[in-house]
Structure 1
Amino acid sequence: MIEEKYYINKVDTYKKSIYCHHDLMGELLIPTHKHDKSQMLYTEGGIVYVVTQTNTYFLPARHFMWIPSGVEHSIHTNSKNVVMRNLYFPVKNNEHIFYETEGIYPVNDLLFQMMLFSNRWDGDLIKGSRKYDITMAIKAILPTICKINLPLSLPFSKDFRLTKIINYIDENLGETILFSKLAVQFGFSERSLYRLFQKDLGMSFIQYLTIRRILKAIEFLIEKKLKVNEVAQAVGYDSVPSFSNTFYKILRQRPSDYVNGEQILKKSKQNILLTF
């Protein structure tokens, strides 16, 4: 039953504590819910999507999502064995604007080591304890080190006409998709379809297609079934350099570095002190 889950009946029990939870997800879906506390979510070992009322976020390896207090969200994954590392922070008055905005951010070495330091902590961390102070330090450094809110999200379409087009795009990411042909195929002029994308999604067709392709590419890279050049082709890029450059603009690292980084992550986990 959903009422028995920690994220429903434990996180907000003590309003002033930091709640810490590290564990396997154990399910493919965490249903829509919200917290009085803000949530810092880091995951390992699979493909994870976080769905809010306005956007679908893709949470890749070595990134975390900040979910402000009161934001309804659900969590979707391809494996029950995904490891979730959650820190839930009480909201204070006059906080930095960073804490008011949902977003995806890369995890640098410092932040990664600090998060893993709390690996075996569980439950409420009470003010005055060393664990509380260390965890609050994690929160305190976020506005300083997290300067780039990565565009790893796509808004929901509210117009049924555009929903059909988006479904077509998703099913044909590996193909050449021309805007002019797309407009004709679905009975639009190019100008009217351009306006529909801007009005309904707040972005252009090119912006939507680019982000969608990169999100799919990240999924392929995590699965490690395809080489980088094969991933590029699978998401519609004829040129590997073009794919690599686009990937870099969005994630600030090359596809090959992203794949190799997972090995670095595993080695780091083996070497770090996991208890306190």
Structure 2
Amino acid sequence: MESSHHKVDKYYIKNVDADKNSIYCHHDLMGELFVPTHKHLKAQLLYAEGDVVFVTTETKTYFLPARHFIWIPGGIEHSIQPKSENVMMRNLYFPIEANENVFFQTEGIYPVNNLLLQMMLFTNRWNGDLEKGTPNFVIASAIKAILPQICLTNLPLELPLPKDERLNKILRFIENNLGETILFAEVATQFGYSERSLYRLFQKDLGMSFIQYYTIRRILKAIELLLEKKLSVKEIAQEVGYNSVPTFSNTFYKILRQRPSDYLNQDEILKRK
């Protein structure tokens, strides 16, 4: 493990908790950087623009699309891996306060609305510790204070990591065949399960049904393709195994609260200043 710790040290992680009372700020164009598993006492707001970022905790992989942020409570081990080198990440690390709103005690992914976007843009030139009593500290505190009031939908953009090796094989099969329509009954037969026992395995190990897992996996793949801006909505629907564009669009909307076409038309506002 030693080597990965050194990598983290070269990174800014060790500075996050150096001053227990400051709000720490770090903005970075990721490059090819992978941030190995680490934790800090402060809670983290991680905002991404440009592509998808994978955030992995002990039990889940979170899938953070551009123009969203993830809230990571203090003390939670996590690693961070951008899908491509053109991801811009903005991080604010907040000291834990007494009697915090329950919002801050849970991991979650939320879309960034225009108000929050403008406030994040305002933090563009900051780096390092924001000291209590300074205007920047007050502004950063306002960003935190506004979150529970504007972030009302915690998006289900995470997939549990399987503990059972047999399930791993099935999830890899799903992964490799997202362009086909995969039927639960056929998967059960192919991997030698009765439908009932496979259903139970999914529920017990992942806490969700096959269809929930499969749906979220398809939509996550669709987000990646939409962010690449190379294919039309119709082509993307087909790439993730939907024959009907309306069905695809409605499923996408149920999970993300916006249409695939909105995703395709997003401008990147936070170009690096």
Instruction: Give TM-score, length-normalised by structure 1.
Output: 0.94
Which amino acid counterpart does residue 34 of structure 2 have in structure 1? L
CA distance in 2, matches of 1:157, 1:63: 25
Distance in 1 separating the partners of 2:86 and 2:220: 21
Tell me the distance in 2 between the aligned counterparts of 1:173 and 1:151: 19
* Counterpart residue identity of residue 5, structure 1: Y
Residues of 1 paired with 2:203 and 2:19: CA distance?
Answer: 43
1:205 has 2:223 as partner: no
Residue 6 (str. 1) matches residue 21 (str. 2): no
Tell me what 1:38 maps to: 43
**Rounded Cα–Cα distance in structure 2 between residues aligned with 1:128 and 1:87:** 17
| SS in structure 2 of the partner of residue 144 of structure 1 | helix
Q: Give the letter aligned to residue 142 of structure 1.
A: L
Asked whether the 8 Å contact 2:16–2:24 carries over to 1, the reply is yes
Residue aligning to 1:140: 145
Does 2:120 match 1:115?
A: yes
- Shift of residue 20, structure 1, vs aligned partner: 0.6
Deviations 1:158-201 (A, max 9, x none): 11111110010000011010111110000000010011110000
1:71 counterpart SS class: coil
Contact persistence 2:54–2:83 (CA under 8 A) = no
Q: CA RMSD in A?
A: 1.1
In the TM superposition, residue 39 of structure 1 has moved relative to its aligned partner by 0.2
Select 1:24's aligned residue among 23, 29, 35.
29
2:70 aligned to 38, 58, 65, which one? 65
Deviation at 1:99, TM superposition (A): 0.5
Unaligned runs of 5+ in 2: 1-5
| Pairing partner for 1:15 from 2, 17, 20 | 20
Aligned to 1:178: 183
Contact 1:43/1:64 (CA < 8 Å) preserved in 2? yes
Does the alignment pair 1:188 with 2:193? yes
| SS, match of residue 74 in structure 1 | strand
Amino acid at match of 1:73: H
Counterpart of 2:11, as a letter, is: K
Indicate if the aligned counterparts of 1:28 and 1:78 stay in contact, CA closer than 8 A: no
**What is the deviation of 1:22?**
1.1
Pick aligned residue for 1:151 from 135, 144, 156: 156
Q: Give the percent of matched residue pairs that are identical in Structure 1 and Structure 2.
A: 68
For 2:246 and 2:49, the matched residues in 1 are separated by 28
Counterpart of 2:88 (choices 64, 74, 83) is: 83
AA in 1 matched with 2:210: F
CA distance in 1, matches of 2:36, 2:29: 16
Structure 1 runs of 4+ with >6 Å offset: none
8 Å contact from structure 1 (residues 36, 70) kept in 2: yes
Question: Please, which of 206, 218, 223 is the counterpart of residue 223 of structure 2?
Answer: 218
Instruction: Return the alpha-carbon distance in structure 2 between the equivalents of residues 111 and 55 of structure 1.
Output: 26
Partner of 1:92: 97
Deviation at 1:48, TM superposition (A): 1.0
Displacement after TM superposition at 1:149 (Å): 0.6
**Distance (whole Å) between structure 2 residues aligned to residue 116 and residue 184 of structure 1:** 52
Separation (CA, whole Å) in 1 of partners of 2:249 and 2:193: 32
Residues in 1 aligned to 2:135 and 2:81: alpha-carbon distance in whole angstroms: 33
